[in-house]
Amino acid sequence: MYSTNQAMLYKHHVHDGQPYIFYIDIRSGGKGYEEFVERAQKEDGVIYIRGKVSKLYRDNGKVKVVGVDTIANKTVEIDADLVVLAMAMVPTPGTKALANTLKIQVGENGFLKEAHPKLRPLESITAGYYLAGCAQGPKDIPDVVSQASGTASKVVSLFSGEYLQLEPTIATVDEELCSACRICISVCPYKAREFDEEKGIAIVNEALCESCGSCVAACPSGASSQRNLTDKQISSMATSILKESENKDS
Ligand code: SF4
Ligand code: SF4
């Protein structure tokens, strides 16, 4: 889309110029975007050529652009004054380090990742950290503004309640079983575990716990568990699922 915008701006300033855009796939998914591309073609005369540029070289003070038009199935040669490469947007170099510090995820392209694309699109997996704008991926200005508004509302709602709502499956420690080995403290990725020197056991900071279950899996004494997600409950769920699938098969 920004290539189209730049081509139109060029045409508005250089009235007798001719902008060309080589493309493989026009990403115009958004309200009014398709019409914007159409307007560029019809009103500003931007010529879109589906295909790749194969060669660029200087020729008589111009830049010769040689490419292929895959729709017309022919070679195209253009004498250009200026050739601009439409660069892809990439994450800021410090994004990965920031994500590691905040314990939030990055997606396969290196941008910060939301907790769930449909159900929690504004939140990271760590409570209290929200996403807005191009930190999450390439976006245009209206999308950034609406996402930032949504994120601001989320933050306001976080502080508007009298109590902080927690996940029902946060970790807990059986004081009788804890052997004070501190393994859970070292494995907790959210720093929700600490050692209570007075009691001589590991405890859970419930406001920080994200119910990931790492401490439960690592605890050698069986002292750690998740509320509402005990071994017995998991076993019952698994048994019930297996029974259901057996009934379907029979
Ligand atoms: S890993 Fe288990 S036994 Fe060890 S300190 Fe943590 S809760 Fe206690
Ligand atoms: S469930 Fe995860 S976040 Fe919560 S205390 Fe255990 S390791 Fe930390």
Q: Across the beta sheet with 62-69, what order do the strands follow? A: 53-59, 62-69, 74-80
Ligand 2 neighbourhood includes 192 CB (under 6 angstroms):
yes
Q: Determine contact, residues 131/114, Cβ cutoff 8 Å.
A: yes
Residue type, 6: Q
224 Cα nearest atom in ligand 1: 7
Confidence of residue 42 (pLDDT cuts 50, 70, 90): very high
User: For position 191, what pLDDT does the model report?
Assistant: 86
Ligand 2 neighbourhood includes 214 CB (under 6 angstroms):
yes
User: For position 103, what pLDDT does the model report?
Assistant: 85
Q: What is the pLDDT of residues 77-135, one digit of tens each?
A: 999 999 999 888 999 999 999 999 888 899 999 999 998 999 999 999 888 899 999 99
From the CA of 182, the nearest ligand is 1
Q: 136: closest CA among 147, 152, 150?
A: 147
Q: 217: closest CA among 206, 198, 231, 236?
A: 231
User: For position 249, what pLDDT does the model report?
Assistant: 72
Share of the chain above pLDDT 90, in %: 71
Select from 174, 178, 195, 204 the residue to mutate for testing ligand 1; criterion: most ligand atoms less than 8 Å from CB.
178
Maximum Cα interatomic distance, the chain, rounded to a whole number of Å? 86
The interface predicted TM-score of the complex, written ipTM, equals 0.98
- Domains in the chain with CATH codes: 2-80 (3.50.50.60), 95-160 (no CATH), 171-243 (3.30.70.20)
User: What does 86-124 look like in DSSP terms, one character per residue?
Assistant: -PPP---TTHHHHHHHHT--B-TTSSB--SBTTTBTTB-
Which H or E run includes 158? helix 141-160
Ligand 2 neighbourhood includes 215 CB (under 6 angstroms):
yes
Look at residue 21 and tell me whether its pLDDT is greater than 90: yes
* 216 CA → ligand 1 middle, Å: 9
User: What does 160-203 look like in DSSP terms, one character per residue?
Assistant: HSSS----TT-EEE-TTT-----HHHHH-TTS-EEEETTTTEEE
